[in-house]
């Protein structure tokens, strides 16, 4: 069916643009909580599309049951990566603005009104808000630090670099997709970074991105451990590496910011090699190993002091020394991206589908 064929006319809202909300989900029954939060929006959406990437645990059936009580909800079977699922939902969206949520997020009543308010400016192509942890779900060291890190990230990074805004909790003019194309499906399939890539493309096309601090949604961090956080970070970095090499743009993991975290292990490796290769003069190896230990202690101390100073504003930031592990995971993921996709970031990538399909 061609886009728009056989559909009822889309009613226009006198208060603002019509909005389609796309909720992406895969084997996550928390989606019913997300749908419940959308029922009480002060700015009701025109429709809610549940983009199911191939659930096998009854999640899709739960969405179908919800649709029976709310005719605005339409579950869609759009199997594939999150980029492919979102592209499938975009083909069905009727709203002038398309907002995105994930199944582990819950939107307060005023969320959508806040998120779409900047679209009164015709130059704004997309908006995004923060995703702090839901109360009661921040129960591990990994979740506590990640919550504090995210709160600070939105204030200090995403506010100034709109391409850093995740697509889960964002809104886009549908016209942007018509002009720029669809989300790129050639990036890493597990954490494709397609949102960062698409935002960069939109910005280059002349659209503006806008951070909306009042459009916060709760993010469920249940089960997020330090280990799972590091694995997630490494996976994101693999996709982020490709975006960096293909677009020449990043927002956080620059060489200068990574150097303090990479210097201690680099010195440790050099010291160990000197120790083994120059047994007659072990002082060389000892000196470099000592420098490695001192630089590591200085880094831990600096992070601990910074974390304590900002803990009141960003709860969980007292665990700031865990940033060392997060940065190491970032470097590991980027290195895997280099091995897989090469320096150009384009090796072994499948061909992207036509931009407007």
Report d(CA 133, CA 256) in Å as an integer.
Answer: 29
Report d(CA 230, CA 12) in Å as an integer.
Answer: 45
> Residue range 244-262: average pLDDT?
78
Q: What integer best gives the mean pLDDT of the chain?
A: 88
DSSP-assigned letter for residue 317: G
Give this prediction's pTM.
0.88
- Residue 323, pLDDT > 90, answer yes
- Residue 192, pLDDT > 60, answer yes
Tokens 């601090």 belong to: 213
User: pLDDT tens across 97-106, in order?
Assistant: 999 999 999 9
Phi-psi region of 28 (alpha: psi -120 to 50; beta: other; left: phi over 0): beta
- Residue 89, pLDDT > 80, answer yes
CATH 3.40.50.2300 applies to domain 19-131+166-221: no
Hey, where are the domains in the chain? 19-131+166-221, 255-341
CB of 327 within 8 A of CB of 230? no
- Residue 82, pLDDT > 60, answer yes
Report d(CA 274, CA 291) in Å as an integer.
Answer: 13
Local confidence band at 2 (pLDDT 50, 70, 90 cut-offs): very low
Angle, in degrees to the nearest 10, between helices 323-341 and 226-247: 50
User: In sequence order, which residues have a C-beta less than 8 Å from that of residue 170 and are 6 or more positions away?
Assistant: 99, 100, 115, 126, 127, 128, 129, 195
User: pLDDT tens across 17-65, in order?
Assistant: 999 999 999 999 999 999 999 998 999 999 999 999 999 999 999 999 9
């Amino acid at each position: 069916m061609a886009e728009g064929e056989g559909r009822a006319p889309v009613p226009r809202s006198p208060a603002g643009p019509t909005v389609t909300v796309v909720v992406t989900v895969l084997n996550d029954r928390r989606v019913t909580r997300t749908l419940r939060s959308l029922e009480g929006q002060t700015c009701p959406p025109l429709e809610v599309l549940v983009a199911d990437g191939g659930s096998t645990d009854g999640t899709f059936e739960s969405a179908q049951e919800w649709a029976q009580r709310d005719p605005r909800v339409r579950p869609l079977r759009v199997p594939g990566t999150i980029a492919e699922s979102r592209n499938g939902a975009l083909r069905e969206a009727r709203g002038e603005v398309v907002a995105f949520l994930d199944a582990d997020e819950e939107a307060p009543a005023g969320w959508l009104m806040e998120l779409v308010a900047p679209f009164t400016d015709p130059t704004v192509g997309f908006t995004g808000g923060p995703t702090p942890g839901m109360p009661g779900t921040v129960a591990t060291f990994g979740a506590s630090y990640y919550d504090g890190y995210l709160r600070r990230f939105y204030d200090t990074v995403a506010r100034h670099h709109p391409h850093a805004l995740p697509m889960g909790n964002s809104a886009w003019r549908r016209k942007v997709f018509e002009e720029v194309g669809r989300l790129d499906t050639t990036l890493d399939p597990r954490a494709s970074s397609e949102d960062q890539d698409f935002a960069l493309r939109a910005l280059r096309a002349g659209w503006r991105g806008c951070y909306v601090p009042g459009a916060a949604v709760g993010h469920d961090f249940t089960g997020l451990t330090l280990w799972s956080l590091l694995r997630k970070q490494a996976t994101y970095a693999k996709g982020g590496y490709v975006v960096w090499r293909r677009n020449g743009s990043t927002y956080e993991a620059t060489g200068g910011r990574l150097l303090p975290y990479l210097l201690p292990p680099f010195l440790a490796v050099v010291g160990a090699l000197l120790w083994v290769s120059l047994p007659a003069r072990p002082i060389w190896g000892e000196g470099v190993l000592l420098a490695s230990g001192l630089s590591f202690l200085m880094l831990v101390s600096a992070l601990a002091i910074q974390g304590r100073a900002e803990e009141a504003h960003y709860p969980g930031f007292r665990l700031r020394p865990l940033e060392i592990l997060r940065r190491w995971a970032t470097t590991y993921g980027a290195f895997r991206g280099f091995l897989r996709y090469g320096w150009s970031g384009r090796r072994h990538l499948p061909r992207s589908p036509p931009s407007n399909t």
